[in-house]
Structure 1
Amino acid sequence: MPTKPRKPWRVILTGPIARVETEHTSERRAYDHLISELRLAKQGERPHTEARVEQWESGRWRHFDTITADEIPDA
Structure 2
Amino acid sequence: MQLVLVESPTKSKTLQGFLGPEYRVLSSYGHIRDLPEDEFGVEAEKDFKPKYIVIPKARKTIRFLKGESQKANLIIL
TM-score (norm 2): 0.32
Higher relative contact order (CA 8 A, sep 6+): 2
Considering fraction of residues, name the structure with more strand: 1
Higher gyration radius (CA) = 2
Considering fraction of residues, name the structure with more helix: 2
TM-score (norm 1): 0.32
